[in-house]
Amino acid sequence: MKQELRGLPRTLADLVAQHLVASGMLIDHDPELAYQHAKTARRLAARLGGVREAVAVTAYLAGHYDEALTEFRAVRRMTGNQEVLPTMADCERALGRPEKALALSREHQVKDLELSSQMEMLIVAAGARRDMGQTAAALQTLEVPELNKRVRVEWLARLRYAYADTLAELGREEEALVWFHRAAGVDIDGTTDAAERAAALEGLEFIDLDEDDDEDYEESGDAIIDVTEEPKAVHVTADSSNDLDEFGETINADETNADEDEQGDSDESHVPAEDQAAEDVHVEDVQVEDEAADDEQDGDQGDVAPGGVTEK
């Protein structure tokens, strides 16, 4: 692609490259928007095979099979790339033309494709047979030695899945279950739902626990704890002597209370000398005043005159 872009003026090449990069970044999340970026790049540089291939792939993934087929034909003519044949055949199937898909699968260039592309063409051809109501012939098409290869690659997972699905359509559920399990065993990227199909045949059901938990929270109104809040103080009592602290050690309530008492005594013993002396003087003054009041009561008392004045 870089070599092709070098044939364009620098500014135009940069603009086309930006649209192609955007298309590549969006292709897994938003195929339609990726397709629009690829179309813009085609408008700017329609004679570049890499640009036409980007349009073909994004159109295929976005479900625009008619345009995808046209672009794949252009790529094949412009670049001589025969690896696009399986996708072209699948576009024919999607457009309701299984006979043309089978015709593409018989072209002599197919035998020169990479193994992964050959297996993809085999899957498409079997699907075309099923579209035509020839399910038994589709099963025979998929019965190839590659089914028993011991490798973990995407095409093998897809091949085994197609074989298991065809067995299930023929009513051979026990055999289909075996092959769904075998497909799931090599499907490391989760490109198929082989595990779910196997579980369904076994009468099991997958439950999304995360979604159930969210629904429980919504129904009960329980709040999720905010871990950013500061922890509240915990009062340790004798009943909590078996609790664990944050480091996994047992808290001893007796030792904790003893430490608090010891701390209290320590606080009293550390009263400053000047404050202690002032407190002692104050106590003596109170004692002297109390003694004077007692002596006054013990002396001769006069009669109390009206108005509360004492007469001697």
Token pair for 46:
């329609």
For 249-294, how does the pLDDT look when each residue is reduced to its tens digit (9 = 90+)? 444 444 444 455 544 444 444 444 444 444 444 444 444 445 544 5
> What is residue 4's predicted lDDT score, i.e. its pLDDT?
80
Q: The tokens 């997972």 sit on which residue?
A: 157
221, part of any domain: yes
> What is residue 213's predicted lDDT score, i.e. its pLDDT?
52
> What is residue 80's predicted lDDT score, i.e. its pLDDT?
92
Token pair for 40:
């813009």
How do the pLDDT tens digits run along the chain, 312 residues long? 777 887 788 888 889 999 999 999 999 999 999 999 999 999 999 999 999 999 999 999 999 999 999 999 999 999 999 999 999 999 999 999 999 999 999 999 999 999 999 999 999 999 999 999 999 999 999 999 999 998 888 999 999 999 999 999 999 999 999 999 999 999 988 889 999 999 999 887 666 655 555 555 444 444 433 434 444 444 444 444 444 344 334 444 444 444 555 444 444 444 444 444 444 444 444 444 455 445 444 444 444 444 443 443
26, part of any domain: no
7 vs 16: CA distance, rounded Å: 12
> What is residue 208's predicted lDDT score, i.e. its pLDDT?
60
61, part of any domain: no
Q: The tokens 């095979």 sit on which residue?
A: 49
43, part of any domain: no
90, part of any domain: no
- Residue 241's domain comprises 212-285
21 vs 27: CA distance, rounded Å: 10
- Count of domains in the chain? 1
- Residue 118 sits at φ, ψ, to 5 deg, of -65, -45
> What is residue 244's predicted lDDT score, i.e. its pLDDT?
39
The C-alpha angle with vertex 262 and arms to 261 and 267, in degrees rounded to 5, equals 95
Token pair for 211:
């979604």
What HEC string does the chain produce? CHHHHCCCCHHHHHHHHHHHHHHHHHCCCCHHHHHHHHHHHHHHCCCCHHHHHHHHHHHHHCCCHHHHHHHHHHHHHHHCCHHHHHHHHHHHHHCCCHHHHHHHHCCHHHHHCCHHHHHHHHHHHHHHHHHCCCHHHHHHHHCCHHHHCCCCCHHHHHHHHHHHHHHHHCCCHHHHHHHHHHHHHHCCCCCCCHHHHHHHHCCCCCCCHHHHHHHHHHHHCCCCCCCCCCCCCCCCCHHHCCCECCCCCECCHHHHHHHHHHHHHHHHHCCCHHHHHHHHHHHHHHHHHHHHHHHHHHCCCCCECCCCCECC
222, part of any domain: yes
Q: Are 74 and 84 in contact (CB under 8 A)?
A: no
73, part of any domain: no
258, part of any domain: yes
**CA atoms 281, 282, 286, 287: torsion sign:** negative
Closest listed residue to residue 49, CA positions, set 18, 88, 81, 21: 81
Q: Which letter, b or e, does each residue of 100-124 get, where b requires 16 or more Cβ atoms within 10 Å of its Cβ?
A: bbbebbeeeebeebeebbbbbbbbb
